[in-house]
Amino acid sequence: MASTLGLLLSFLIFPGLLFTAAMGLATQWVDRKVSALVQWRVGPPWYQPFADILKLLGKEIVIPAGARRAGFLFAPMAGFAAVGVVSTMLWLTNLNGAGFVGDLIGVIYLLTIPSLGIILGASASSNPLASVGASREMKLVLAYELPFIIAIFTAVTKVSPMTLRLDGILEYQAANGVLLGNVSCILAFIVCILVAQAKLTYPPFDIPEADTEIMDGTHIEYSGAALAIIKLQQAMLLFTLPILFITVFWGGLVFSGWNILYTIVKYLIIIVIIVLIKNVNPRVRIDQAMRFFWGPVTLIAVVGMVLAILGF
Amino acid sequence: MDAIKWGFKKSLWVFHLNAGACNNCDIEVLDCLCPKFDIERFGMKLVGSVKHADVLLVSGSVPRKVMPDLIEAYEQAPKPVAVVAIGACACTGGIFKDGYNFAGPVDKHIPVDAYVPGCPPRPEAIIGAVVKLMGKL
């Protein structure tokens, strides 16, 4: 009973929903501030993402006339909860070494739920622009999942003995140095950064919510608290993906002595790379994005996998 | 509740609604978004959907053809929402007040919270109007 309560608390408060949401919003401020500096602007104050969410909670929720009510309102919750679970799993593994067999597969599986929730909600909203966004999101999921899975399994192959446990990967890295020191894993890491761009729907892969053509596409009809859930989910995903990459490729989160600083620097480096890619690239078309992910990116991922099998 | 009120003070998302304007006011609205004026400092952001908006920036003299759409856009916006009439046409009708298809001005159809006169108004004036609305919602 006590352990159930503890699990529930760790899912709801630390390191689950509440902690992840707060850290995600703080990360979103880093994103907006760096974007502003790149564009020679001043940018928003540090509390801006928090103010946005609080304001959205005070707004009316408008449900379109032709929408499926339950699907429209509950679809964003699925992604929100799924990202919370992923974050809880990653943090508990890093802090307590609490892994289980196959948790890496669970993480990969749960990371597709936000996209599916968005697709479901957009399709339920009975808005033509939202359905265009939903169909683009579907194609984008099909495009990036293959290289993402190959890239993650490059790390699994590199670890000896081969393991699907996150704590197994962490133990191997603690004993033999970080996986990022190998050529194969550097290639896999590059693939992961590109996939993160698409998972977060940041430019150049913000095709499902293209502001200028389909006006936020998938979440055009959302308002008030429902929109706040979507924004929170995006913020939490922005926080969770770099943590996953640090865990799998870069030695995990270590909180002892000077390593605290090193962990934060690792995290910020990944965030700034993602934000810089976001700021210097235009939006591509959906067919270009699919060709990019199934062509060069999958090729890089496969080359990384082959190198990992050969022992590089 | 105070926290939500604070949110409304610090974060206003604006939606730009062209109700038959000649594009002159619209270009001045776009000026506000450029690095020189940078309205993101005040937590303002231009959004693409009226469902996300807290402030509607309405420009133009509201011809008869556009009038139903203007009213529908206002009704679709989640409340509370503020309306800013931008430019001489939106405030009074301007030089189009005797036109055969003139159905405006804006405050004849929807409640207006702030007026920004001028043909076109300066970006500073538009930003000033929205800043005055902070905390009023």
pLDDT of residue A296: 92
Specify the DSSP class assigned to residue B11: -
Q: Is residue A2 over pLDDT 70?
A: no
pLDDT-derived band at A1, boundaries 50, 70, 90:
low
Stated pTM of the model: 0.87
Q: What is the CATH classification number for the domain harbouring B30?
A: 3.40.50.12280
Give dist(CA B87, CA A197) in Å, integer: 40
> How confident is the model over A90-114, as a mean pLDDT?
84
Structurally, chain B folds into a number of domains equal to 1
Quick one: closest CA in A to B33, which residue?
A41
A·B CB contacts under 8 A: 89
Q: Which two tokens stand for residue A62?
A: 């408008």
Q: Which two tokens stand for residue A89?
A: 């799993």
Q: Is residue B43 over pLDDT 70?
A: yes
Residue A69 neighbours by CB distance under 10 Å: 10
Contact between residue A146 and residue A294 where contact means Cβ atoms under 8 Å apart: yes
Residues of B in contact with A54 (CB under 8 A): 3-4, 6-7, 11
pLDDT of residue A276: 92
Q: Do B35 and A223 lie within an 8 Å CB cutoff?
A: no
Residue A309 neighbours by CB distance under 10 Å: 12
Specify the DSSP class assigned to residue B17: E
The mean pLDDT value of chain A amounts to 86
Q: Write out residues 36-55 of A within 8 Å (CB-CB) of B.
A: 36, 39-45, 47-48, 50-55
pLDDT of residue A299: 92
pLDDT of residue B5: 80
Range of the domain at B44: 2-133
Helix ranges, A97-177 (H): 103-110, 113-124, 128-158, 166-176
Q: Residue A32 corresponds to which amino acid?
A: R
Could you report the predicted ipTM of this complex, rounded to two decimals?
0.83
Contact between residue B47 and residue B133 where contact means Cβ atoms under 8 Å apart: no
pLDDT in tens, A140-162: 999 999 999 999 888 888 887 77
Q: Is A255 on the interface with B (CB under 8 A)?
A: no
Q: Is A126 on the interface with B (CB under 8 A)?
A: no
Q: Is A95 on the interface with B (CB under 8 A)?
A: no
Q: Is residue B107 over pLDDT 60?
A: yes
**Helix, strand, or coil here: A142?**
helix
pLDDT of residue A271: 92
> How confident is the model over B13-27, as a mean pLDDT?
86
pLDDT in tens, A45-86: 888 899 889 888 888 888 888 888 888 888 888 888 898 888
